Amino acid sequence: MRKRYFSTKKKDNLLFRIFVGVVLVLISIYGLYRLLWLTPVSAPGKEVPRIVKDKIFSRIERGEKPQWEEILKLREEKKIEELRKSLRSFVDTTKEPDELAKAYILWLDVEEEVGSLEPALDVAKEAREKCVGAKDYALILYREGYILEKLGKDSEAGEIYNTVIKEFSKGNKCYGYLGLGRLSIKNGDKVKAREVANLAVVDAEWDSKIWNESLDLLGKLNVEMVFSKEETPESKKYIVQRGDTLVGIGAKLNVPVGMLCRANGLDENAVLRPNQVLKYTPKDFKLIVERSKCRAFLVDENGIFKRYIVGLGKTGHETTLGSYKIGNKQKNPTWFKPGEAPIPPGDPRNELGTRWMPLVPAEPGLPSDLGLHGTIAPETIGTYSSNGCVRFLKDDIEELYDLIVRSTPVIIKEIVKPEDVFPLESINVEKVASERIEKPVEEKN
C-alpha cells in the first residue's frame, strides 16, 4: 500500500486548532477591553474609563510631579467635567491627608466658582471624613461652614465655626473667628463681629490669605462703626453750645470735620442748634506705609484699624523712608506741577485727585514735597508709578481724609512686621474668645 504523507485527519486538526486560537485571542482582547475601558472609577453618577485613570494618575503612584500639573492644567483650561473626574480619581487613589486636603480644596474652589453649592457641600462633607490629620483640616471645616452659610444654614455653619475655635490650636482658630464675624453681621451685631474679626487677624498667620480676608472685614467694620449714627462702645457725645460750628467743634475735640459730618448725617456747612447731640469717636491714629508691599496700615490703640493698597514712587523717585506728620489738609487741591502753570481742581490732568495731605518731615534729611493724595489713574494703585508720593483710590483717600487729623504720625518703612502695627499684648485673646462663643448663633429670616 502506498504511504500517505498528507492525511485529511491531520489537516482537519490543524484548522480546528487555528480556529480555537483565534477565538481565544478574541476573548482575551475583549476581556482586556472590559478591564481597561469599562471598569468604573467612583465618580458620582458617571463611569470613568479606567485607562484614563491609569494614564493620568500612573505618575501619581510613582510620586512624580506632572500628575498635579495635569489637574492644574485642566483647571486653567476650565474643563470642568474632566477636572471633576481627575479630582475624583486623585482622591480615590491618594491616602496622604495633606495631599487629599489639597485636592479637596481645589475641588471646592471649582464647585463654588461655577455656583454648584449642593455638590460643593457633598465634597466638603467627604473631605471632612477623609482629611482628618491634614494641616489644612481647619480650613476644610471652614469651607464647609461657608458653603452652609451660602445655603442659608447659619446655625449649622455656626456650630462648625465654634468647633474650630474650641478644638484647634493658634493659627487655625482664625477660620472660626472669621466665620462667626460674618454671622454676627447677619444678626445685626457689629460689635461682636468686629471683636471676632480682630481675633481672626491676631490668630492668623501674618499676610496669609485668611489674614487678609479677616483684615478686610475688620477694616470695613471699623470704618462703618465710626461713620455710622449708631453708638459704639468707644463713641462719645457732644452737646452743641450756642455759637458752635463744626470746624470749632472738630478743633476742640481733635476730630476731623468729615468724621462729624458722616457720623451725624450733616453737611459741612450745616448750621447747628444749641443742645443738638453729636456723635464722635476720638481716635489716636498713626499711618504706617509699607514700601515693599505698596500698602498702608491705619493703626489705633487696638492695632490695625484698616489696611489700604497704595501706589508708591517709581524707580528713581522711590518713596523716602522715614517719619513724617500730616500737614494742612486740602480738599480739591490745585496741583503746582514743576515747570507748568497751576492745574486746578477737577482738571483731568490734576494727579492729586480730590484730596491732598502733605507729609511734613519729622526727622532731618527727608524731602518736604511728599504727601498723601488721590489719583486720576486708579490702575496704578498697587504699583510703583508716582514721583514719590503715596497714592490712594478716590474713595480711600476721601475716607482717610475724614478719619485722621493734622499732625497724625506717618511712618514709611520698607517692611512692616506684626509688632509694628498690632499690640498683641493688649488683647486677652482667650478671654474675649470665650465670651464671644458662649452665645449661640441666631438665624434671621
Whole-number mean pLDDT of the chain? 87
Q: Looking at the structure, do residues 87 and 219 belong to the same domain, yes or no?
A: yes
pLDDT tens by residue, 110-163? 999 999 999 999 999 999 999 999 999 999 999 999 999 999 999 999 999 999
Q: Looking at the structure, do residues 256 and 208 belong to the same domain, yes or no?
A: no
Q: Looking at the structure, do residues 305 and 334 belong to the same domain, yes or no?
A: yes
CA distance 72 to 228: 45
CATH of residue 309's domain is 2.40.440.10
CATH of residue 115's domain is 1.25.40.10
Strands (E), 301-392: 303-309, 312-313, 322-326, 330-331, 355-361, 371-373, 384-386, 390-391
The pLDDT of residue 251: 96
Q: Looking at the structure, do residues 298 and 357 belong to the same domain, yes or no?
A: yes
Note whether residue 41 is domain-resident.
Answer: no
pLDDT > 70: percent of the chain: 83
Q: Are 246 and 272 in contact (CB under 8 A)?
A: yes
The pLDDT of residue 35: 54
pLDDT tens by residue, 40-81? 444 344 444 544 444 444 444 444 433 788 899 999 999 999
Q: Looking at the structure, do residues 110 and 203 belong to the same domain, yes or no?
A: yes
The pLDDT of residue 12: 60
User: For the chain, what is the domain count?
Assistant: 3
Closest to 215 measured CA to CA, from 198, 195, 232, 227: 198
Note whether residue 40 is domain-resident.
Answer: no
Query: Which pLDDT band holds residue 433 (cuts at 50, 70, 90)?
Result: very low
Q: Which residue has the higher pLDDT, 437 or 205?
A: 205
Cell for 86? 481627575
Q: Looking at the structure, do residues 276 and 292 belong to the same domain, yes or no?
A: no
pLDDT tens by residue, 323-347? 999 999 999 999 998 888 999 999 9
The pLDDT of residue 213: 97
CA distance 89 to 196: 39
The pLDDT of residue 386: 94
Note whether residue 3 is domain-resident.
Answer: no
Q: Looking at the structure, do residues 144 and 251 belong to the same domain, yes or no?
A: no
Own/partner pairs for 365-373, CB < 8 Å, 24+ apart? 365/322, 366/320, 366/322, 366/323, 366/324, 367/320, 370/319, 370/320, 370/324, 371/327, 372/287, 372/326, 372/397, 372/400, 372/410, 373/333, 373/397
CA distance 365 to 375: 27
CATH of residue 263's domain is 3.10.350.10
Q: Looking at the structure, do residues 150 and 194 belong to the same domain, yes or no?
A: yes
The pLDDT of residue 434: 47
Asked if residue 106 has pLDDT above 60, the reply is: yes
Q: Looking at the structure, do residues 188 and 290 belong to the same domain, yes or no?
A: no
The pTM for the full model equals 0.80
∠ CA 57-60-66, nearest 5°, is 90
Name 114's Cβ contacts closer than 8 Å, sequence gap at least 6: 80
Q: Looking at the structure, do residues 108 and 193 belong to the same domain, yes or no?
A: yes
Q: DSSP string covering 242-267, please?
A: TT--HHHHHHHHT--HHHHHHHHT--
Own/partner pairs for 209-218, CB < 8 Å, 24+ apart? 210/139, 210/174, 210/175, 210/178, 211/174, 213/178, 214/174, 214/177, 214/178, 214/181, 215/304, 215/307, 216/307, 217/178, 217/181, 217/182, 217/193, 218/194, 218/304, 218/306
The pLDDT of residue 67: 78
The pLDDT of residue 63: 44
Note whether residue 39 is domain-resident.
Answer: no
Q: Are 217 and 207 in contact (CB under 8 A)?
A: no
Note whether residue 429 is domain-resident.
Answer: no
Name 328's Cβ contacts closer than 8 Å, sequence gap at least 6: 358, 406
Q: Looking at the structure, do residues 264 and 215 belong to the same domain, yes or no?
A: no
Choice among 6-20, 178-192, 202-216, 387-401 with the minimum mean pLDDT: 6-20
The pLDDT of residue 9: 52
Note whether residue 304 is domain-resident.
Answer: yes
Q: Looking at the structure, do residues 186 and 304 belong to the same domain, yes or no?
A: no
pLDDT tens by residue, 7-49? 555 556 677 677 777 777 777 776 666 655 444 444 344 444 5
Note whether residue 7 is domain-resident.
Answer: no
Q: Which domain holds residue 306?
A: 286-421
CA distance 283 to 150: 36
The pLDDT of residue 22: 77
